[in-house]
């Protein structure tokens, strides 16, 4: 894809939108009221809005390598605070994906420089679930399972966030753990499909992370 194409595509897109609604961008400029905060991987194949059939204004998006919600990442924490406390989204979605390069790298031992401390987050997920993961003999299956468990742990990181805790208490904010199956194009709800159950894990640990925002 060339840069030139992007600008051509953009003008076409503007015309298309205005064709349906001449005031489309005028309305868009007035503000946003998204229902969803989406936290996903930066991978170019996992396009947050288009795979969800969502348009401008629907989804507040945060992406990084391997959809990590780090407690020391002011970027992720700022996005979460703004989405939950100010935009008052109804749902927070953590979406991992199979074939995730970040998760794969965390399973290997290559020195990736500045990415090492980031991958450490995923290595810690591996450590937390070492017994289960080491018990999976097929490497591909183990890799897919780590993708799923990483979603679970990042959902827990979301639930352990004080802004999320108070929004859950006050207005029933919901947290979802998904995986995007690149080879089939499908979004899978990992809780509904019984692959993870972060709510029951959270039930056991919530007391440790509780912050009472009076
Ligand atoms: Co990825």
Domains, the chain:
1-30 (no CATH), 32-209 (3.40.1050.10)
**pLDDT for res 214:** 66
Distances from the Cα of 171 to the Cαs of 58, 74, 211, in angstroms? 19, 25, 17
**pLDDT for res 124:** 98
Active site residues: 41, 43, 45, 97, 100
Mean pLDDT by 10 residues, the chain (214 residues): 97 98 97 98 96 97 98 96 98 98 97 96 98 98 98 98 95 98 98 97 93 77
**pLDDT for res 211:** 87
**pLDDT for res 160:** 96
Could you tell me the pTM of the whole model?
A: 0.96
Joined together, the tokens standing for residue 88 give 């008052």
Separation of CA 31 and ligand 1 centre (Å): 30
**pLDDT for res 213:** 72
Separation of CA 102 and ligand 1 centre (Å): 5
Joined together, the tokens standing for residue 89 give 């989204």
Joined together, the tokens standing for residue 179 give 């995986």
Please list all protein residues whose beta carbon sits less than 5 angstroms from ligand 1, which is an ion. 41, 43, 100, 102
Separation of CA 147 and ligand 1 centre (Å): 9
């Amino acid at each position: 894809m060339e840069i030139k194409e992007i600008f051509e595509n953009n003008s076409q897109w503007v015309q298309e939108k205005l064709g349906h609604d001449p005031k489309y961008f005028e309305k868009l400029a007035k503000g946003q009221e998204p229902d969803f905060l989406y936290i996903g991987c930066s991978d170019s194949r996992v396009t947050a809005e288009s795979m969800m059939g969502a348009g401008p204004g629907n989804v507040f998006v945060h992406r990084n390598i391997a959809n990590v919600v780090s407690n020391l990442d002011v970027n992720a924490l700022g996005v979460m605070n703004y989405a939950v406390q100010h935009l008052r989204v109804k749902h927070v979605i953590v979406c991992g994906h199979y074939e995730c390069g970040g998760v794969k790298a965390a399973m290997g031992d290559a020195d990736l420089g500045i990415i090492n401390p980031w991958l450490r987050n995923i290595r810690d997920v591996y450590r937390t679930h070492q017994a289960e993961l080491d018990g999976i003999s097929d490497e591909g299956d183990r890799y897919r399972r780590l993708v799923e468990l990483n979603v679970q742990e990042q959902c827990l990181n979301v639930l352990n966030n004080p802004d999320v805790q108070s929004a859950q208490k006050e207005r029933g904010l919901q947290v979802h753990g998904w995986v995007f199956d690149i080879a089939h194009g499908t979004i899978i709800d990992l809780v509904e499909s019984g692959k993870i159950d972060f709510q029951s894990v959270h039930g056991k640990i919530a007391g440790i992370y509780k912050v009472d925002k009076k």
